Structure 1
Amino acid sequence: MRYRIAVASAVAVLGLGVLGTVSGPDWDPVPFAETIEVATADTTIGESAGTDPVGTYEVATSIVEVELAGTTIEARISEPVGAEGPRPGLVFVHGAGTGRYEIAFVEQAEALASAGIVTMVPNKRLDTYTTRERSYVTMANDYLRSVELLRRLPGVDPDRVGVYGESEGAWIVPVMAADNPSVAFTVLVAAPVVPPRQQAAFAVDSYLRNTGVPVEVLTAIPRIVGMEFPGGGFEYVDFDSQPFQQRMRQPLLVVYGTGDAAMPTIQGAEQLIADLAVAGNDDVTVRYYAGADHGIKIDHVLVPEFSRDLAAWIQALPASADAAPAVAGAQPYQRFRAAPVERPRWFADGDMLLAAVVAGWGALLLVPVIAAARRLRGHRERSLASGVRAPLVVMAAGSSLAFVSLAAYLLTVAWLAQNYERNDVFVQGGWLVIRVLAIAAAVAAVVLVSRILDGRRRGVPAAARDAAGAWYLAAAFGGSTSILLLLAYFGVFPALL
């Protein structure tokens, strides 16, 4: 009996592991073997003669209102005091999340204004921007209202107003600039370039590898990032900025920090150079700043050389548009290629996964409801045979704890990854705990089924002694099985493949 249960348990555990593996999709990112030739470590852009360095002027700020379709937003204008006009201008386009001028681009706007450039940081419009729904084309049209306002301000040269997009904003700026001569130049900082779904998979992979997670955890990337999310929406995750980039005719400054693990720093620059070439535009300048993060900061401080170079490049246009060297700074490194993400099969679509989670937990939560109803009716006798109670409890508790632990583990790992921290004891030990809990639940399921079948062969009383017991058994076993299948899908069980 024990030997049979041991063999059956091993088969069940490995079977769940194989099932999770073949359910797909797998995750096998392609190594990025290309590099980009950096001419020099000196990021200085062109000749600085005739340009005002950062810190030349005092800065005056004012708040203006920008009329958008259906609403009004505020924007902060930063101007150089005493600078002779007309001066170049720059509109900042926010990255992901909320964006207010009180906290976004404060250092950049101040530094550029002190060099003689009029800057504008509008508040991000949030009534049409949610996690589920957003349109980069609509956002581009909104930001163009800010461009037009800045072009009309006294002291601003309307023919020298450009846009600066960072992170998510780098998907918006190409839409603004394509076939649009009112945008004089463009700056893309930490540009994802590839569609959001591809960039998210690339970033998650990079972050998770930096935390040292087991390789099985990486298989969750396409299964989460690649799926259609429950309830629909999220169409923007497949937005492709390439057609717009191929119609950009303005001078472009591309900026990355070599410490930014979220972006394809080499692939992005190379694709932008190739895309602008389609439009017959070779006015692309690329700069890499050593150790700088996503916002071109080190220890939360904006890299001074970045401010210096950005100010000089803007002021020296059009001469700086093709000034040598085209690519300079620290040598970047990109381990894998950002590429299309394989979609999960129909049974692992977002709605199906959500249904499995709801069904599993709903069934398990039905057990205490049934127990409470029986007690209210005065029933105190046990509804399950003694031989099945223990394995059923272990199966339900083990699968539930494993699922909750997996969710907590992934959230904690995400926090570690975003903060560039490692905790090998938690990362490796936590994964081991999740596996032990899940395997214990699977073994308990085998013991439960074996005892029920063995009891039937020997003609002993049924596992469920009454209708309530049958509901207990069906709900706990069914709910636990659903959760075990979810755990298998996300790679918790080992597989010999």
Structure 2
Amino acid sequence: MKLTALLLALSLSAPAPATGTEVTSVPVTFTTRDGQKLGGRIFQPAKAAGTLPGMVLVHGSGGGNSWQELRPEAEAFARQGIVVLAPDKRSIGYSSSRRDYHQLADDALAAFAVLKGRPGVGKAGIWGISEGGWVGPIAANRGADVAFLVTVGGPGLSPLRTQGWNAAGKLDRAGVKGSLRRTYAHDFHRLAADAGLFASAQHDPAPELRAIKQPVLALWGAADNQVPPAESAEQFTKNVRASLTVRFFPGANHSLHDGNTLTGGYADTVGAWVRAVSAGEAPASSAQPPPAQTRSVATPPSAWWESWQLHAGTMALLLLAFLAYTIRPLGAGRWPARVVAVAGSASIVAFAGTLLALLASSSSRGVAAGPLLMGRPLPWLAAQLLAAVTAVAALACLTQWRAASFRVRLAGVAGVVFIPWAVYWGLLLP
């Protein structure tokens, strides 16, 4: 049976929403396992009667920590006859370099307990968007009373691999070509993860997906450019053994809404599915064909020669060696060594500046690559040209080795060490 027909059948067989469009809300508070008091708001149909399904919403990583960020979804789902708790997200213990998905799952379950304690709430589940797609399965597996799971833009890959795909896509849309694409999207982000600047980078969602026993509704925007929709759906289909319904919304973005307007059919799909599952009518597993997407690149653990300590230390030592030569006037010494010192240090500065500028300008809308020449940002192109000059001058230093002074030899050795470092980081690659 085609998915559209299945959803139509569900909407017809499931109880209709309890009311029309009016929604009421009340504030609530809950306490996390580590003692933090967080707020939130419960939304429900204005004239709710009888027992209704419930759902706790789990934030993504973007935006703020307030329940207000989830208000559009909360109100839309309440109009579908669901009692919805939109909680605040913790800020203590949560940052770009520190977060624990198991802790966030415990927070969701603390909110879930408040929702389940409300009169008139029957079977209840978890809804998670984006990062909530990593958190939701953990909460579903830990919560004995969690009856179902809904994910929107749920990542099926590790955070680091997902971010690499995300960053590569931003460069593609900006028109960037060449070695910078892999350098920035993969090697630079992996270095940051190895240095502890990328929280939970290697989290593997597969074990949690395999452990899920509740029905799962997994939704993606077909035009999602933050999480790879096709590959994520593949991982959900491969690992979820319970009832799984996979649907893609053509042309829709990562969050399935723009501002306060939800993608057409999104709330209806969630409402029909939740009402059917809560009535004990979980559908047989089904999945729509995935959209076309560029494939992600695996991010295995770094080898010893790829460690952040080695690369950061190498860059620092190279700069010191180059600057040690330039302490005296540039007129002293031999020209190859002078070229190595000046071009090498300038190449490193332009290299670091390019990567940091891309990182600073990156947002959900894309990345600011600046003016391009041959598909390269001008600072990156300068870094590559200077790296090539440095390599040639370093080899020239070696031909003068016997007659060279210590300072010239130091510059030559630094230049030779610079070559493999520059190759690794794409400065000497097309």
Q: Which TM class, normalised by the smaller chain length?
A: 0.7 to 0.9
Q: Residues 199-218 of structure 1 correspond to what in structure 2 (within 5 A)?
A: 199-218=162-181
Deviates more, 1:473-482 or 1:345-354: 473-482
- Which amino acid in the other structure matches residue 21 of structure 2? T
Q: Residue by residue, what CA displacement relative to the aligned partner does 1:411-449 show, whole Å, maximum 9, x if unpaired?
A: 555647853578783533535433222212223334444
1:294 offset after TM fit, Å? Answer: 1.3
The one of 423, 428, 436 equivalent to 2:376 is: 428
1:67 offset after TM fit, Å? Answer: 4.2
Please tell me whether the aligned partners of residues 98 and 126 of structure 1 are also in contact (alpha carbons under 8 angstroms).
Answer: no
1:285 offset after TM fit, Å? Answer: 1.5
The one of 187, 197, 212 equivalent to 2:150 is: 187
Residue 199 to residue 224, structure 1, CA distance change in 2 (3 Å): same
Distance 1:485 1:112 in 2: 56
Q: Residue by residue, what CA displacement relative to the aligned partner does 1:400-420 show, whole Å, maximum 9, x if unpaired?
A: 332333334345556478535
Partner of 1:379: none
Deviates more, 1:318-327 or 1:191-200: 318-327
- Which amino acid in the other structure matches residue 185 of structure 1? F
Q: Does 1:310 align with 2:270?
A: yes
- Which amino acid in the other structure matches residue 310 of structure 2? M
- Which amino acid in the other structure matches residue 47 of structure 1? S
1:482 offset after TM fit, Å? Answer: 5.0
Residue 130 to residue 310, structure 1, CA distance change in 2 (3 Å): same
Q: Residues 432-471 of structure 1 correspond to what in structure 2 (within 5 A)?
A: 432-450=381-399, 452-453=400-401, 456=403, 463=405, 470=407
1:273 offset after TM fit, Å? Answer: 3.1
Distance 1:419 1:60 in 2: 32
The one of 15, 25, 36 equivalent to 1:50 is: 15
TM-score by length of 1: 0.73
Task: Give the unaligned 5+ runs of structure 1.
Answer: 1-36, 372-381, 457-461, 465-469
Deviates more, 1:78-87 or 1:317-326: 317-326
The one of 404, 412, 432 equivalent to 2:349 is: 404
Q: Does 1:240 align with 2:209?
A: no
Q: Does 1:341 align with 2:299?
A: yes
Deviates more, 1:241-250 or 1:415-424: 415-424
Distance 1:241 1:350 in 2: 25
Q: Residue by residue, what CA displacement relative to the aligned partner does 1:122-147 show, whole Å, maximum 9, x if unpaired?
A: 22223222333432222212221111
1:254 offset after TM fit, Å? Answer: 0.4
Q: Does 1:295 align with 2:255?
A: yes
1:476 offset after TM fit, Å? Answer: 5.5
Partner of 2:223: 259
Distance 1:229 1:387 in 2: 41
Partner of 1:172: 135
Q: Residues 389-400 of structure 1 correspond to what in structure 2 (within 5 A)?
A: 390-400=335-345
Please tell me whether the aligned partners of residues 363 and 476 of structure 1 are also in contact (alpha carbons under 8 angstroms).
Answer: yes
Please tell me whether the aligned partners of residues 76 and 101 of structure 1 are also in contact (alpha carbons under 8 angstroms).
Answer: no
Q: Percent identity at matched positions?
A: 26
1:70 offset after TM fit, Å? Answer: 2.8
Deviates more, 1:295-304 or 1:228-237: 228-237
Distance 1:446 1:71 in 2: 61
1:186 offset after TM fit, Å? Answer: 0.5
Q: Residue by residue, what CA displacement relative to the aligned partner does 1:471-493 show, whole Å, maximum 9, x if unpaired?
A: xx576556555555432211221
Please tell me whether the aligned partners of residues 168 and 182 of structure 2 are also in contact (alpha carbons under 8 angstroms).
Answer: no
Distance 1:171 1:249 in 2: 16
Distance 2:354 2:2 in 1: 40
Residue 88 to residue 318, structure 1, CA distance change in 2 (3 Å): closer
Partner of 1:5: none
Partner of 1:108: 73
Where 1:132 maps in the other structure, the secondary structure is coil
Distance 1:320 1:273 in 2: 22
Larger Rg: 1
Where 1:90 maps in the other structure, the secondary structure is strand
Distance 1:196 1:166 in 2: 14
Where 1:185 maps in the other structure, the secondary structure is strand
Where 2:220 maps in the other structure, the secondary structure is strand
The one of 60, 63, 68 equivalent to 2:33 is: 68
Residue 271 to residue 446, structure 1, CA distance change in 2 (3 Å): closer
Partner of 1:145: 110
Q: Which has the higher contact order (CA 8 A, sep 6+)?
A: 1
Please tell me whether the aligned partners of residues 45 and 309 of structure 1 are also in contact (alpha carbons under 8 angstroms).
Answer: no
Please tell me whether the aligned partners of residues 246 and 275 of structure 1 are also in contact (alpha carbons under 8 angstroms).
Answer: yes
Q: Does 1:361 align with 2:316?
A: no
The one of 400, 419, 423 equivalent to 2:365 is: 419
Q: Does 1:126 align with 2:91?
A: yes
- Which amino acid in the other structure matches residue 387 of structure 2? A
Distance 2:341 2:71 in 1: 53
1:102 offset after TM fit, Å? Answer: 4.7
- Which amino acid in the other structure matches residue 175 of structure 1? I
1:212 offset after TM fit, Å? Answer: 3.9
Q: Does 1:332 align with 2:291?
A: yes
Where 2:299 maps in the other structure, the secondary structure is coil
- Which amino acid in the other structure matches residue 353 of structure 1? H
The one of 43, 57, 60 equivalent to 1:95 is: 60
Residue 156 to residue 40, structure 1, CA distance change in 2 (3 Å): closer
Q: Residue by residue, what CA displacement relative to the aligned partner does 1:178-221 show, whole Å, maximum 9, x if unpaired?
A: 26431011101111122223323333344444444334234435
1:91 offset after TM fit, Å? Answer: 0.9
The one of 207, 210, 213 equivalent to 1:249 is: 213
| Matched positions, count | 424
Please tell me whether the aligned partners of residues 287 and 327 of structure 1 are also in contact (alpha carbons under 8 angstroms).
Answer: yes
Where 2:11 maps in the other structure, the secondary structure is coil
Where 1:268 maps in the other structure, the secondary structure is helix
- Which amino acid in the other structure matches residue 419 of structure 1? R
Distance 1:387 1:360 in 2: 19
Task: Give the unaligned 5+ runs of structure 2.
Answer: none
